[in-house]
Amino acid sequence: MRLEAKELASLIETLRRDGYEVVGPTVRDGAIVYDAIEGLEDLPRGWTDEHAPGRYRLLRRPDNALFGYVVGPQSWKRFLLPPRVRLFSVRRNGDQPEIIADASAEPPPKYAFLGARACELAALAVQDRVLLGGPYADPIYRNRRQDVFVIAVQCTQAAPTCFCSSMGTGPKLSGGYDIALTEVVEGAESWFVAHAGTEAGAARLAALGAPEASPQDVARAEEAARRAESMITRRLNTAGLRERLAENFEHPQWDDVARRCLACANCTLVCPTCFCVTVEDTSDVTGSHAERWRLWDSCFTQSFSYIHGGPVRASIKARYRQWLTHKLSSWHDQFGTSGCVGCGRCITWCPAAIEITTEAEAVCGFPPSSLRSEQA
């Protein structure tokens, strides 16, 4: 199906009318962030993003593309696994505590995600496995996740920080969406080739009454998608990576990276798969009301591994090693998949410009793949 901007606007409008909170990209504070979208005017029309290790900035595009950027600092996890959520509140009722609010019982927002990229859908699948697989599903995540309607957008450009093709997660969309859009820029404006991934997506597309995409339209969309693939220069050699990382626990590279790492936790907060949380209890001065909150935490904080008398991972070296080996090695043991989807956010948003790809390959003794591919 071929959609013009007005049909995309109508898709957003009908989703909102049907009770969805449409969340999509918008420009705020010099970045493209995900927030509630009311219409096309909220999208980052004519903006693009520039990425490098430790560097991000927005630039104007020469056209009015609506999705002409790569990825922002946020991921969809902030809506499904909120950074701060009140688990319950309790008040004193005589001698007995009485629960007056319980997050797992509250009606969840009904989200429609607009603009999800292939690596982000892979990250959602990883979080589904972590938070819904096994005997202990997270009720808050489950409630928020179950009715999400996903409108994915095919990447048509890539940043020098992207390495999704090494992780097998992109840039081509391969599932996990209700509707997939590929934006084709023509002159100053753009149009979309859309196809459905589910019956719900097909029904919504059919309701728009848009014409079928011609073979030429489809060819233009495929060409735009191939452009993103050809722009990816960063690689991560994953052959034997999991085993080599586990075998090189005392490699001197861990000391080297620890001298540069600030333990700021940025990499874990921007990562679409990191899921660690902590709980915090608060009570009022009268002792009659208390609340338990769940907050994002990070394995880079010293307090994260504190156990009766001291942190298990007291040094930055131990904490960086824990993070990287968990992502690329022990995540496989725990969840049967890599914990990294190659989105590159931890590289862009690291103030010390540390690159997970370079560090992992150095520890494993692999020649640096990205350098080699850039030289080729």
Task: Return d(Cα 229, Cα 114) in angstroms, integer.
Answer: 21
The dihedral region occupied by 81, where left means phi > 0, alpha psi between -120 and 50, and beta the remainder, is beta
Binding to ligand SF4 by residue 363, rule CB under 6 A?
Answer: no
Q: At what angle do helices 199-208 and 5-17 cross, to 10 degrees?
A: 120
Binding to ligand SF4 by residue 160, rule CB under 6 A?
Answer: no
User: Quick one: which segment of 2-10, 146-154, 197-205, 255-263 binds ligand SF4 (CB under 6 A)?
Assistant: 255-263
Binding to ligand SF4 by residue 221, rule CB under 6 A?
Answer: no
User: Quick one: which segment of 152-160, 207-215, 257-265, 283-291 binds ligand SF4 (CB under 6 A)?
Assistant: 257-265
Instruction: Quote the DSSP letter at residue 107.
Output: P
- Minimum distance between the CB of residue 292 and ligand SF4, rounded to whole angstroms? 27
- Minimum distance between the CB of residue 363 and ligand SF4, rounded to whole angstroms? 14
- Minimum distance between the CB of residue 300 and ligand SF4, rounded to whole angstroms? 4
First-to-final CA distance of the chain = 39
- Minimum distance between the CB of residue 263 and ligand SF4, rounded to whole angstroms? 5
- Minimum distance between the CB of residue 8 and ligand SF4, rounded to whole angstroms? 27
Nearer CB in complex with ligand SF4: 34/191: 34
Site for ligand SF4 in 290-319 (CB under 6 A): 300
Q: Considering only residues 273, 301, 329, 369, which one is a binding residue for ligand SF4 as defined by CB under 6 A?
A: 273
Binding to ligand SF4 by residue 121, rule CB under 6 A?
Answer: no
CB-CB contact of 300 with 264 (8 Å): yes
- Minimum distance between the CB of residue 221 and ligand SF4, rounded to whole angstroms? 26
Binding to ligand SF4 by residue 162, rule CB under 6 A?
Answer: no
Sign of CA dihedral 369, 129, 176, 81: negative
Q: Considering only residues 246, 264, 276, 318, which one is a binding residue for ligand SF4 as defined by CB under 6 A?
A: 264
Long-range (24+ apart) CB contacts under 8 A made by 365-373 are 365/244, 365/248, 366/237, 366/241, 366/244, 367/237, 369/166, 369/234, 369/235, 369/236, 369/237, 370/163, 370/233, 370/234, 370/235, 370/236, 372/235, 373/233, 373/234, 373/235
Rg (Cα) of the chain, in Å, rounded? Answer: 22
Q: Considering only residues 27, 103, 150, 261, which one is a binding residue for ligand SF4 as defined by CB under 6 A?
A: 261
Tokens of 261: 């790492």
- Minimum distance between the CB of residue 166 and ligand SF4, rounded to whole angstroms? 10
Task: Return d(Cα 195, Cα 208) in angstroms, integer.
Answer: 12
- Minimum distance between the CB of residue 149 and ligand SF4, rounded to whole angstroms? 23
Tokens of 199: 């019956």
Task: Return d(Cα 228, Cα 156) in angstroms, integer.
Answer: 5
Residues 6+ apart with CB under 8 A from 157: 48, 68, 69, 70, 227, 228, 231
Q: Considering only residues 27, 265, 360, 362, which one is a binding residue for ligand SF4 as defined by CB under 6 A?
A: 265
User: Would you call 218 exposed, middle or buried from its count of C-beta atoms within 10 A (0-12, 13-18, 19+)?
Assistant: middle
Q: Considering only residues 148, 155, 267, 299, which one is a binding residue for ligand SF4 as defined by CB under 6 A?
A: 267
**Does residue 99 sit in helix, strand or coil?**
strand
User: Quick one: which segment of 5-13, 109-117, 128-136, 265-273 binds ligand SF4 (CB under 6 A)?
Assistant: 265-273
* Per-residue binder mask for ligand SF4 (CB under 6 A), 318-357, x = binder: ---------x------------xxxxxxx---xxx-x-x-
- Minimum distance between the CB of residue 142 and ligand SF4, rounded to whole angstroms? 22
Task: Return d(Cα 232, Cα 164) in angstroms, integer.
Answer: 8
Binding to ligand SF4 by residue 276, rule CB under 6 A?
Answer: no
Q: Considering only residues 8, 124, 270, 363, which one is a binding residue for ligand SF4 as defined by CB under 6 A?
A: 270
For 301, other C-beta atoms within 10 Å of its C-beta total: 18
For strands 84-93 and 289-296, give the pairing: antiparallel
Number of residues that bind ligand SF4 (CB under 6 A): 25
Q: Which residues bind ligand SF4 (CB under 6 A)?
A: 261-267, 270-273, 300, 327, 340-346, 350-352, 354, 356
